[in-house]
Amino acid sequence: MHSRRVYALCLRMVGRTAEAEDLTQEAFLQLFRKIATFRGESAFSTWLHRLAVNVVLMRLRKKTIAESSLEETTEPDEESGGPRRDFGSADPLLSGSVDRINLQRAIHRLPPGYRAVFELHDIQGYEHNEIAGIMGCSIGNSKSQLHKARTRLRELLHEAERDRARDARQAAKTEVAGGED
Amino acid sequence: MLCREFESVFEQSEGTQLPAAAATHLKDCHACRAMAADFEAIRAAALELNQDFTEEPPAYIWQNLRAQLAAEGVIRQPETGGTGWLAGLLGWTHRPALVATYAMLGVFAIAVIWQNPPQRASMEAYVLPAEALATQKDLGSFETQAVSQLHPATSEVDASLRRNLDIVDKFIALCEKNVREEPQNEEARQYLYSAYQQKAELLTTAMERDWTGE
């Protein structure tokens, strides 16, 4: 149970199976090394996830500048560091249900902090007070990070929908052009 | 309420009911309603991602983990070498030598209970009971094996083990003397029995130090 959740967390955080396995092993290694320091002040799962999240975030921080700069393509706004939303503009609604493959792709494009909070809250079902314990932040901060993560995901999913629509139009044009020839 | 204000309230009201002003704004504003609906769709899809994920991490992770923890001395790696039927029999425990010694001492204890001290006392007034002699002999061979695995005197832990073995040996000698002199004395037998136990534990520690590579 715990091992699967930790593995899922690692896999969605890094996106690569081999690295996720390595991180899972590292998280449990930390668990055994530090088990004597567990005082029961939080639930065991919270404590274990805190270790796992720290292991993953440490690894992501160590990554090359090139990779980090790619993650910064989330275009945070200047004031809050979060994704930009144009207030007053009529945002299109995501058409029906969200495609899970697109969602997976979009999650991988989130900055690590947003990704961790989104993974813990929306995917694994942790409450904000638990996430605050895991991430070492306030409940308000956890809510704020989650909101920004969802806002950014929404943008990325809209982009994916627009790309798909453009590809479909392009394919239709090509088909028409081929028919005229 | 402006959209920007609504978003701040919406963000922090996560999981709770929206205040009346924010609820009114949501009802009237198409853009904010679209955002809330999309967030709900994202959340629903995210929950499905979790339900879909049933993969367990591969087994080799646990093997690597065990090896790493054993190398660091956090846990003891069970002996995997083939020492015949005894290894198979005791394979379930991390401390096979200790279990073997306790089993041996258990047999000794049962034998002592079944013997008839008053009758034997007259015949063995100045020698140890046969069962005690057998245990003494077994411990002796166990000791030869364990002490041969102790590291040179440069190791502080091994030096301490040797010192403790000397102390226990002296205690055993004293207990054996008492049992020889008063074979019917139950208390003297108990002291001897617990001295053997202490020695068995020390020898086990000596052997395990070698297994764990410390």
- Give yes or no for residue A70 having a pLDDT over 50: no
CA angle B21, B25, B29 (to 5 degrees): 180
Q: What percent of chain A has pLDDT over 90?
A: 20
| Angle at the Cα of A75 from the Cα atoms of A71 and A77, rounded to 5 degrees | 135
For residue B83, name the pLDDT band (cuts at 50, 70, 90).
very low
Counted across chains A and B, CB pairs separated by less than 8 A come out at: 117
pLDDT at B87: 45
Enter the tokens of residue A144. Answer: 């704020």
| DSSP 8-state assignment for residue B154 | T
ipTM score over 0.85, yes or no: no
Q: What are the chain B neighbours of A12 within 8 Å (beta carbons)?
A: 49
Per-residue pLDDT reduced to its tens digit, B9-31: 888 887 678 888 989 998 989 88
- Which residue in A85, A104, A122 is closest to B43 by CB distance? A122
Smallest CA–CA separation between B18 and chain A, in Å?
14
Contacts with B75 from chain A: Cβ below 8 Å: 32
Residue to mutate among B8, B16, B50, with most A CBs inside 10 A, is B50
Residue with tokens 């002003």: B21
Closest chain A residue by Cα to residue B3 = A87
pLDDT of residue A140 exceeding 60: yes
Tokens of B187: 């208390």
Q: Under an 8 A CB cutoff, do B61 and A21 touch?
A: yes
Tokens of B47: 């929950």
pLDDT of residue B96: 54
Per DSSP, helices labelled H in chain B are 3-12, 20-28, 30-52, 60-72, 85-89, 96-114, 117-123, 130-148, 156-181, 186-211
